[in-house]
Amino acid sequence: MALLGYGRTSRDLQTLGLEAQVTALTEAGCERVWSEHGSGARDDRPEMLALLEYARAGDVIVVVRLDRWGRSLPHLVKTLTALDERGIGFRSLQDGIDTTTDTGRMVYGLMSVLAEFELSLIRARTRAGIAQAAALGHRPGPKPRLSPEQAQMAKRLYNEGEHTVGQIAAMLGGVSRATVYRALEISATRVAAVAATASDG
């Protein structure tokens, strides 16, 4: 069994310097330490990837603090699960977590439950947001755009005066009327003004 350390620091967290982490990991018995600078939100952490490639079954990865390894609770649990499947332990010095002990595995199990709960909350909020947007007539994601050819066709049909914007939208594959209005370069204010004039007439 080998203790393998990992340290990371970033500009948003200067209270736990890289040198201090390496010292703590070495004093904890790590025979080798991988360290790097970078945000926890980024996936491109080459030293972490190098450590994961080097580690073998029976080894234990050691960090000073949990947030030096995972960028979120779900991400942390996901990576710890992957390590567990490979027979690799995980230990956090300041958090008192060690997946090679019964107590540590119990804490890890609790973290898994909390991570799943957090994911369920995120999914629920996402569904609620999509439902609310749909109720208000908004589509999730970026605004759809017409190709130059479709935009040209929309302008030609509109200028002919024989089709409504809704009919043109249907001809173009069922896009929204707002998409057609954008292609026609007609603002919502102008649309409302035209509609008001028509109703007054």
Residues designated catalytic: 10
- C-alpha distance from residue 187 to each of 165, 178, 191 (Å): 13, 9, 6
- Give every CB contact of residue 157 below 8 A, 6+ residues apart in sequence: 163, 168, 171
- For residue 46 the two structure tokens come to 């080459």
Rounded Cα distance, 106 and 94, in Å: 17
Number of other CB atoms surrounding residue 178 within 10 Å: 17
The secondary structure of the chain in percent helix, strand, coil, rounded to multiples of 5, reads: 55, 10, 35
Parallel, antiparallel or unpaired: strands 97-98 and 89-92: antiparallel
* Cβ pair 64, 35 in contact under 8 A: no
Burial of 115 (0-12, 13-18, 19+ CB in 10 A): buried
